[in-house]
Amino acid sequence: MIRSVVIVSALCFLFISLFLLQRQEAGGPLVRARMLMGTVVEIKVDGPDAERFEAAVTEAFNAMERIERLMSPHVPDSDVSRLASAAGPVRFAPETLEVLQIALEVADVSAGAFDPTLGRLVRLWGFAEGAPRLPEPAEIQAAVAGPGTTGLEIVGRLVSKESPHVVLDLGGVAKGYAIDRAVEVLAAAGAGHAAVNAGGDMRLLGDRHGRPWKIGIQHPRQPGNVLGVLELSDRAVVTSGDYERAFEQGGVRYHHILDPRTGYPADRCQAVTVVADHAAIADALATAVFVLGPESGMALLNSFPGTEGLIVAADGQIATTSGLREVITWP
């Protein structure tokens, strides 16, 4: 917990310093940052006319804020919170419905490794509240027992749950979707070169000065070091890691990506990075592959044409899709 706070504070300081430095660069990129969805979101617009996108950047942040208001478990009247407390059907906003459809698709292709209905388990571990704890085995057994995604019913925009056991949690996909919305706003305003970065998960619009953007992938066991550098344009890149929200007890690391089958943190990977056209699908896939582990996870990535990925297994072994090898440089 204390470690997480320190890491978050350090990240905030880094982002704010970066923000102030880049703001002072005359004719440089337009860089703005806001705290959203429990993380620092940075939007950067590049190019000689970057200054004229100030209003579009504000609009892009507002679009992300709307997604947070609709999908956060911490906002009492979000679609997710209303479903959690409702006895009957709840009318979802089109955006929430779209995210739910993506989540259900990834749940399906990952044979339930990605499960957007494990909100009870997420609450039990307390990661979302910032006060994680190791639950009793009986509590975990009770939290995993349930119908899973089949316990949700969708009729038009009305969503209902079979029992109070089914608690929607879009934490593994909604951040990516919010990034996509922001990029759409920037593109609609005419920005051709931009990056939206939400705590390391990002989507790139166009290239940077005629060359690909260079994106460092955080080393899962060496804080501050990069594992590799990706050169990408017009792509999303999202990482799920066991170091992001974690605590240690009795020499064991417990983190926030949970295996729906066991109820415990998934233990087959240290980190998974996915490159795709959209951040929402990259976000959901990174979480799914993390739970599935290197073998099934790689098979899942290869079944999505145009989607690339890098998997760091629990023992530190690195595996990549063939397309990723063309865009990565190792340090």
Q: Which of 107, 164, 91 is nearest to 287 (CA)?
A: 107
Instruction: Considering the complex, state which of residue 31 and residue 237 has its C-beta at the smaller distance from Mg ion.
Output: 237
Report if residue 287 touches Mg ion, rule: CB under 5 A. yes
Choose one: 16-24, 85-93, 287-295, 314-322; the region binding Mg ion (CB under 5 A): 287-295
Which of ligand FAD, Mg ion, none interacts with 128 (beta carbon under 5 to 8 A by kind)? ligand FAD
Q: Which of 68, 79, 95, 180 binds ligand FAD (CB under 6 A)?
A: 68
Report if residue 253 touches ligand FAD, rule: CB under 6 A. no
Report if residue 74 touches ligand FAD, rule: CB under 6 A. yes
Report if residue 130 touches ligand FAD, rule: CB under 6 A. yes
Report the SS3 class of residue 233: coil
Report if residue 71 touches ligand FAD, rule: CB under 6 A. yes
Supply the DSSP string of 75-129, one letter for each residue. STTSHHHHHHH-SS-EEPPHHHHHHHHHHHHHHHHTTTSS-TTBHHHHHHHTTTT
313-319-321 Cα angle (round to 5): 135
To the nearest whole angstrom, how small is the minimum distance from the Cβ of residue 115 to Mg ion? 12
The Cα–Cα gap between 29 and 50 comes to 6
Backbone angles phi, psi at 329, to 5 degrees: -120, 130
Q: Are 83 and 161 a contacting pair, CB within 8 Å?
A: yes
Q: Are 279 and 177 a contacting pair, CB within 8 Å?
A: yes
Instruction: Considering the complex, state which of residue 201 and residue 308 has its C-beta at the smaller distance from ligand FAD.
Output: 201
Helices (H) and strands (E) in the chain, counts: 10, 16
What are the C-alpha distances in Å from 324 to residues 149, 291, 294, 308? 32, 20, 15, 6
Report if residue 197 touches ligand FAD, rule: CB under 6 A. no
Q: Which of 283, 292, 300, 310 binds Mg ion (CB under 5 A)?
A: 283
To the nearest whole angstrom, how small is the minimum distance from the Cβ of residue 256 to ligand FAD? 4
Instruction: Considering the complex, state which of residue 79 and residue 283 has its C-beta at the smaller distance from Mg ion.
Output: 283
Report if residue 46 touches ligand FAD, rule: CB under 6 A. no
Report if residue 220 touches ligand FAD, rule: CB under 6 A. no
Backbone angles phi, psi at 284, to 5 degrees: -65, -40
To the nearest whole angstrom, how small is the minimum distance from the Cβ of residue 81 to ligand FAD? 11
Q: Any idea which residue has 């009247």 for tokens?
A: 77
Choose one: 5-13, 258-266, 286-294, 303-311; the region binding Mg ion (CB under 5 A): 286-294
| HSE toward the beta carbon, residue 263, CA cutoff 13 A | 18
What are the C-alpha distances in Å from 52 to residues 33, 57, 64? 17, 10, 20
Report if residue 116 touches ligand FAD, rule: CB under 6 A. yes
Instruction: Considering the complex, state which of residue 53 and residue 114 has its C-beta at the smaller distance from Mg ion.
Output: 114
Report if residue 179 touches ligand FAD, rule: CB under 6 A. no
Sequence-ordered list of residues with C-beta below 8 angstroms from that of 252, at least 6 positions apart, any chain = none
Q: Which residues bind ligand FAD (CB under 6 A)?
A: 37-38, 68, 71-72, 74, 114-116, 118, 122, 127-128, 130, 169-172, 174-175, 201, 240, 244-245, 256-258, 260, 283, 286-287, 291
